[in-house]
A and B are shown apart, each in its own frame.
Chain A
Amino acid sequence: MSIGGLDVTFTNSSLMMVIVVSLVVLFMSGGMRKNALVPGRWQMMVEMTYELVANMVKENVGKEGKAYFPFIFTLFMFVLGCNLLGMVPYSFTVTSHIIVTFALAAVVFVGVTLIGFFKHGFGFLKLFVPSGTPLWLLPLIVLIELVSYLVRPITLSVRLCANMLAGHLMMKIFAGFVVGLGSLGVLGVFGAVVPFTVNVLLTGLEFLVAALQAYVFAILTCIYLNDALHPSH
Protein backbone atom coordinates (compact mmCIF):
# COMPACT_ATOMS: atom_id res chain seq x y z
CA MET A 1 0.00 0.00 0.00
CA SER A 2 1.33 3.46 -0.81
CA ILE A 3 -0.01 6.99 -0.46
CA GLY A 4 1.62 9.74 -2.54
CA GLY A 5 4.63 7.57 -3.36
CA LEU A 6 5.23 6.82 0.34
CA ASP A 7 5.19 3.21 1.43
CA VAL A 8 2.70 3.04 4.31
CA THR A 9 2.17 -0.71 4.48
CA PHE A 10 0.90 -1.96 7.84
CA THR A 11 3.82 -4.23 8.80
CA ASN A 12 4.30 -6.51 11.80
CA SER A 13 6.41 -3.69 13.26
CA SER A 14 3.40 -1.34 13.11
CA LEU A 15 1.19 -4.05 14.59
CA MET A 16 3.57 -4.52 17.55
CA MET A 17 3.60 -0.75 18.14
CA VAL A 18 -0.21 -0.65 18.16
CA ILE A 19 -0.26 -3.58 20.60
CA VAL A 20 2.31 -1.88 22.85
CA VAL A 21 0.42 1.42 22.90
CA SER A 22 -2.91 -0.27 23.65
CA LEU A 23 -1.34 -2.36 26.43
CA VAL A 24 0.25 0.72 28.00
CA VAL A 25 -3.05 2.62 27.83
CA LEU A 26 -4.85 -0.39 29.30
CA PHE A 27 -2.25 -0.67 32.09
CA MET A 28 -2.45 3.01 33.01
CA SER A 29 -6.21 3.56 32.74
CA GLY A 30 -7.06 0.14 34.22
CA GLY A 31 -4.85 0.81 37.24
CA MET A 32 -6.37 4.24 37.86
CA ARG A 33 -9.96 3.08 37.27
CA LYS A 34 -10.88 3.01 40.97
CA ASN A 35 -8.60 5.94 41.84
CA ALA A 36 -8.53 4.86 45.49
CA LEU A 37 -6.82 6.86 48.23
CA VAL A 38 -5.21 3.65 49.48
CA PRO A 39 -3.94 2.04 46.24
CA GLY A 40 -4.40 -1.62 45.42
CA ARG A 41 -1.71 -3.71 43.75
CA TRP A 42 -2.42 -2.59 40.18
CA GLN A 43 -2.77 1.08 41.10
CA MET A 44 0.46 0.78 43.10
CA MET A 45 2.34 -0.36 39.98
CA VAL A 46 0.95 2.56 37.97
CA GLU A 47 1.86 5.02 40.71
CA MET A 48 5.37 3.59 41.02
CA THR A 49 6.15 4.02 37.31
CA TYR A 50 4.67 7.53 37.48
CA GLU A 51 6.79 8.43 40.50
CA LEU A 52 9.94 6.94 38.97
CA VAL A 53 9.71 9.22 35.94
CA ALA A 54 8.43 12.20 37.96
CA ASN A 55 11.44 12.00 40.31
CA MET A 56 13.78 11.55 37.35
CA VAL A 57 12.45 14.72 35.70
CA LYS A 58 12.52 16.67 38.97
CA GLU A 59 16.11 15.70 39.80
CA ASN A 60 17.56 16.14 36.32
CA VAL A 61 15.66 19.07 34.86
CA GLY A 62 14.27 20.94 37.86
CA LYS A 63 11.01 22.80 38.25
CA GLU A 64 10.77 23.93 34.61
CA GLY A 65 10.87 20.31 33.50
CA LYS A 66 7.36 19.67 34.80
CA ALA A 67 5.84 20.91 31.53
CA TYR A 68 7.74 18.22 29.62
CA PHE A 69 6.91 15.38 32.00
CA PRO A 70 4.07 13.93 29.84
CA PHE A 71 6.40 13.65 26.85
CA ILE A 72 9.17 11.90 28.79
CA PHE A 73 6.70 9.60 30.53
CA THR A 74 5.14 8.60 27.19
CA LEU A 75 8.58 7.99 25.72
CA PHE A 76 9.62 5.88 28.71
CA MET A 77 6.47 3.76 28.70
CA PHE A 78 6.61 3.22 24.94
CA VAL A 79 10.25 2.13 24.92
CA LEU A 80 9.74 -0.03 28.02
CA GLY A 81 6.66 -1.65 26.48
CA CYS A 82 8.46 -2.35 23.19
CA ASN A 83 11.51 -3.81 24.97
CA LEU A 84 9.50 -6.01 27.32
CA LEU A 85 7.04 -7.24 24.71
CA GLY A 86 9.98 -8.08 22.46
CA MET A 87 11.04 -10.63 25.11
CA VAL A 88 7.91 -12.72 24.45
CA PRO A 89 8.95 -15.63 22.21
CA TYR A 90 7.86 -15.35 18.55
CA SER A 91 6.97 -11.68 19.01
CA PHE A 92 8.73 -8.79 17.31
CA THR A 93 11.17 -6.40 19.00
CA VAL A 94 10.35 -3.00 17.52
CA THR A 95 13.26 -1.25 19.24
CA SER A 96 15.82 -3.58 17.64
CA HIS A 97 15.30 -1.72 14.36
CA ILE A 98 17.49 1.34 13.98
CA ILE A 99 14.88 3.32 12.05
CA VAL A 100 12.40 3.18 14.96
CA THR A 101 14.89 4.25 17.61
CA PHE A 102 16.40 6.85 15.30
CA ALA A 103 12.97 8.39 14.71
CA LEU A 104 12.45 8.59 18.50
CA ALA A 105 15.92 10.08 19.02
CA ALA A 106 15.42 12.57 16.17
CA VAL A 107 12.17 13.77 17.76
CA VAL A 108 14.02 14.30 21.05
CA PHE A 109 16.96 16.05 19.36
CA VAL A 110 14.91 18.42 17.17
CA GLY A 111 12.45 19.14 19.98
CA VAL A 112 15.19 19.90 22.52
CA THR A 113 17.05 22.17 20.09
CA LEU A 114 13.87 24.10 19.26
CA ILE A 115 12.99 24.45 22.96
CA GLY A 116 16.48 25.81 23.61
CA PHE A 117 16.23 28.42 20.86
CA PHE A 118 12.68 29.46 21.80
CA LYS A 119 13.52 29.84 25.50
CA HIS A 120 16.87 31.57 25.20
CA GLY A 121 17.20 32.83 21.63
CA PHE A 122 20.86 33.01 20.67
CA GLY A 123 21.75 32.66 24.35
CA PHE A 124 21.26 28.94 23.75
CA LEU A 125 24.61 28.94 21.95
CA LYS A 126 26.26 29.50 25.35
CA LEU A 127 25.83 25.74 25.70
CA PHE A 128 28.82 25.31 23.40
CA VAL A 129 31.04 27.69 25.40
CA PRO A 130 31.74 26.29 28.88
CA SER A 131 32.41 29.06 31.37
CA GLY A 132 35.99 29.51 32.56
CA THR A 133 37.64 28.23 29.39
CA PRO A 134 40.93 29.98 28.52
CA LEU A 135 40.62 32.05 25.34
CA TRP A 136 43.28 30.19 23.34
CA LEU A 137 41.46 26.89 23.96
CA LEU A 138 38.07 28.25 22.92
CA PRO A 139 38.02 27.33 19.19
CA LEU A 140 38.88 23.71 19.99
CA ILE A 141 36.38 23.43 22.86
CA VAL A 142 33.54 24.91 20.80
CA LEU A 143 34.26 22.43 18.01
CA ILE A 144 34.30 19.48 20.43
CA GLU A 145 31.10 20.62 22.14
CA LEU A 146 29.37 21.12 18.79
CA VAL A 147 30.35 17.67 17.52
CA SER A 148 29.33 16.00 20.78
CA TYR A 149 25.99 17.81 20.55
CA LEU A 150 25.33 16.82 16.93
CA VAL A 151 26.25 13.18 17.49
CA ARG A 152 23.66 12.81 20.28
CA PRO A 153 20.74 11.47 18.18
CA ILE A 154 23.06 8.83 16.71
CA THR A 155 24.41 7.59 20.04
CA LEU A 156 20.97 7.73 21.63
CA SER A 157 19.38 5.62 18.90
CA VAL A 158 22.28 3.22 18.34
CA ARG A 159 22.60 2.56 22.09
CA LEU A 160 19.00 1.36 22.39
CA CYS A 161 18.94 -0.50 19.07
CA ALA A 162 22.31 -2.22 19.51
CA ASN A 163 21.51 -3.30 23.06
CA MET A 164 18.30 -5.00 22.03
CA LEU A 165 19.85 -6.46 18.88
CA ALA A 166 22.96 -7.82 20.62
CA GLY A 167 20.95 -9.33 23.47
CA HIS A 168 18.53 -11.17 21.21
CA LEU A 169 21.40 -12.25 18.96
CA MET A 170 23.26 -13.72 21.93
CA MET A 171 20.17 -15.64 23.08
CA LYS A 172 19.67 -17.05 19.59
CA ILE A 173 23.33 -18.11 19.33
CA PHE A 174 23.11 -20.02 22.61
CA ALA A 175 19.78 -21.53 21.56
CA GLY A 176 21.60 -22.68 18.42
CA PHE A 177 24.22 -24.39 20.63
CA VAL A 178 21.46 -26.22 22.51
CA VAL A 179 19.91 -27.53 19.27
CA GLY A 180 23.29 -28.39 17.76
CA LEU A 181 24.47 -30.35 20.81
CA GLY A 182 21.09 -31.99 21.32
CA SER A 183 21.20 -33.54 17.85
CA LEU A 184 24.49 -35.34 18.65
CA GLY A 185 22.90 -38.19 20.62
CA VAL A 186 22.66 -39.01 24.34
CA LEU A 187 26.01 -37.49 25.33
CA GLY A 188 25.17 -34.32 23.42
CA VAL A 189 21.88 -33.92 25.28
CA PHE A 190 23.77 -33.92 28.59
CA GLY A 191 26.23 -31.41 27.14
CA ALA A 192 23.36 -29.21 25.97
CA VAL A 193 22.40 -28.55 29.59
CA VAL A 194 25.26 -26.05 29.88
CA PRO A 195 24.25 -23.65 27.04
CA PHE A 196 20.61 -24.08 28.10
CA THR A 197 21.47 -22.84 31.60
CA VAL A 198 23.38 -19.94 30.11
CA ASN A 199 20.36 -19.11 27.96
CA VAL A 200 18.04 -19.03 30.97
CA LEU A 201 20.44 -16.67 32.75
CA LEU A 202 20.72 -14.54 29.60
CA THR A 203 16.94 -14.21 29.47
CA GLY A 204 17.05 -12.78 32.98
CA LEU A 205 19.81 -10.39 31.96
CA GLU A 206 17.81 -9.34 28.92
CA PHE A 207 14.84 -8.39 31.10
CA LEU A 208 17.21 -6.23 33.17
CA VAL A 209 18.64 -4.66 30.02
CA ALA A 210 15.16 -4.06 28.58
CA ALA A 211 14.06 -2.07 31.63
CA LEU A 212 17.46 -0.39 32.03
CA GLN A 213 17.67 0.81 28.45
CA ALA A 214 14.20 2.36 28.64
CA TYR A 215 15.35 4.11 31.85
CA VAL A 216 18.59 5.26 30.20
CA PHE A 217 16.70 6.55 27.16
CA ALA A 218 14.40 8.59 29.40
CA ILE A 219 17.18 9.89 31.66
CA LEU A 220 19.32 10.97 28.70
CA THR A 221 16.30 12.81 27.28
CA CYS A 222 16.04 14.57 30.66
CA ILE A 223 19.73 15.49 30.57
CA TYR A 224 19.44 16.89 27.03
CA LEU A 225 16.34 18.83 28.05
CA ASN A 226 18.23 20.22 31.04
CA ASP A 227 20.95 21.43 28.67
CA ALA A 228 18.33 23.22 26.58
CA LEU A 229 16.62 24.86 29.57
CA HIS A 230 19.82 25.84 31.41
CA PRO A 231 22.41 26.32 28.65
CA SER A 232 25.09 28.13 30.66
CA HIS A 233 26.96 25.51 32.65
Chain B
Amino acid sequence: MELEAAKAIGMGIAAIAMGGAGIGLGNIFGSYLNGALRNPSAAPKVRGDLLLGFALTEAIAIFALLVVVLILFVL
Protein backbone atom coordinates (compact mmCIF):
# COMPACT_ATOMS: atom_id res chain seq x y z
CA MET B 1 0.00 0.00 0.00
CA GLU B 2 1.13 3.53 -0.65
CA LEU B 3 2.50 5.22 2.45
CA GLU B 4 0.30 8.29 1.92
CA ALA B 5 -2.81 6.15 1.67
CA ALA B 6 -1.87 4.20 4.79
CA LYS B 7 -1.34 7.47 6.64
CA ALA B 8 -4.74 8.80 5.58
CA ILE B 9 -6.46 5.58 6.65
CA GLY B 10 -4.62 5.63 9.98
CA MET B 11 -5.69 9.22 10.60
CA GLY B 12 -9.29 8.28 9.92
CA ILE B 13 -9.13 5.31 12.28
CA ALA B 14 -7.53 7.44 15.01
CA ALA B 15 -10.34 9.98 14.71
CA ILE B 16 -12.94 7.28 15.55
CA ALA B 17 -11.85 7.65 19.19
CA MET B 18 -13.54 11.03 19.27
CA GLY B 19 -16.92 9.32 18.94
CA GLY B 20 -16.43 7.85 22.40
CA ALA B 21 -15.59 11.26 23.82
CA GLY B 22 -18.72 12.62 22.16
CA ILE B 23 -20.86 9.98 23.86
CA GLY B 24 -19.17 10.80 27.16
CA LEU B 25 -19.73 14.55 26.84
CA GLY B 26 -23.37 13.99 25.92
CA ASN B 27 -23.72 11.75 28.95
CA ILE B 28 -22.18 14.37 31.27
CA PHE B 29 -24.36 17.27 30.12
CA GLY B 30 -27.45 15.08 29.80
CA SER B 31 -27.06 13.84 33.35
CA TYR B 32 -26.40 17.37 34.57
CA LEU B 33 -29.55 18.75 32.92
CA ASN B 34 -31.54 15.79 34.19
CA GLY B 35 -30.42 16.42 37.75
CA ALA B 36 -30.57 20.21 37.51
CA LEU B 37 -34.14 20.22 36.25
CA ARG B 38 -35.28 17.82 38.96
CA ASN B 39 -33.66 19.86 41.71
CA PRO B 40 -32.75 23.36 40.44
CA SER B 41 -31.58 24.55 43.85
CA ALA B 42 -28.78 21.96 43.89
CA ALA B 43 -27.58 22.84 40.38
CA PRO B 44 -25.00 25.57 41.24
CA LYS B 45 -23.18 23.18 43.60
CA VAL B 46 -22.37 20.66 40.88
CA ARG B 47 -21.44 23.20 38.18
CA GLY B 48 -17.76 23.00 39.20
CA ASP B 49 -17.79 19.21 38.95
CA LEU B 50 -19.62 19.53 35.61
CA LEU B 51 -16.86 21.70 34.15
CA LEU B 52 -14.17 19.43 35.59
CA GLY B 53 -15.81 16.39 34.01
CA PHE B 54 -16.21 18.28 30.75
CA ALA B 55 -12.51 19.20 30.68
CA LEU B 56 -11.33 15.69 31.59
CA THR B 57 -13.55 14.06 28.94
CA GLU B 58 -12.66 16.62 26.31
CA ALA B 59 -8.98 15.90 26.97
CA ILE B 60 -9.53 12.32 25.72
CA ALA B 61 -10.89 13.65 22.43
CA ILE B 62 -7.90 15.95 22.18
CA PHE B 63 -5.51 13.04 22.80
CA ALA B 64 -7.09 11.37 19.77
CA LEU B 65 -6.69 14.58 17.79
CA LEU B 66 -3.05 14.69 18.89
CA VAL B 67 -2.51 11.20 17.47
CA VAL B 68 -4.03 12.36 14.17
CA VAL B 69 -1.78 15.43 14.11
CA LEU B 70 1.25 13.29 14.94
CA ILE B 71 0.49 10.97 12.03
CA LEU B 72 -0.05 13.94 9.73
CA PHE B 73 3.06 15.95 10.57
CA VAL B 74 5.58 13.72 12.32
CA LEU B 75 5.29 10.19 10.98
Q: How far is the CB of A201 from chain B (nearest CB, A)?
A: 16
Q: Which of B52, B63, B65, B69 contacts A216 (CB 8 A)?
A: B52
Across the interface, which residues of A come within 8 angstroms of B55, CB to CB?
163, 209, 212-213, 215-216
What are the residues of chain A within 8 A of B51 when measuring CB–CB?
A: 212, 215
- Is A165 touching B59 in the complex (CB atoms < 8 A)? no
For chain B, the bracket of interface size reads 10 to 19
Asked if A147 is at the interface (CB within 8 A of a chain B CB), the reply is no
Given contacts A212-B54, A215-B51, A219-B52, contact A159 B66 (CB under 8 A): no
- Flag B8-22 by CB within 8 Å of A: 1 or 0 each: 000000000000000
> What DSSP secondary structure best describes chain B's contact surface?
helix
Q: Are B65 and A166 in contact (CB under 8 A)?
A: yes
Question: Does A162 lie within 8 Å of B54, measured CB to CB?
Answer: no
Chain B residues with CB below 8 A from A155, complex form: 59
Say yes or no for B33: interface residue by CB 8 A criterion. Answer: no
Kindly state whether residue A150 has any CB partner on chain B within 8 Å.
Answer: no
Q: Which of A185-233 contact B (CB under 8 A)?
A: 209, 212-213, 215-216, 219
Q: Which B residue sits closest to A56, measured CB to CB? A: B48
- Once the chains bind, are B66 and A162 in contact (CB under 8 Å)? yes
In the bound complex, what is the Cα–Cα distance between A165 and B62 (angstroms)?
9
Partner-B contacts on A (CB < 8 A) = 155, 158-159, 162-163, 165-166, 169, 209, 212-213, 215-216, 219
Report B's interface with A, CB cutoff 8 A: 51-52, 54-56, 58-59, 62-63, 65-66, 69
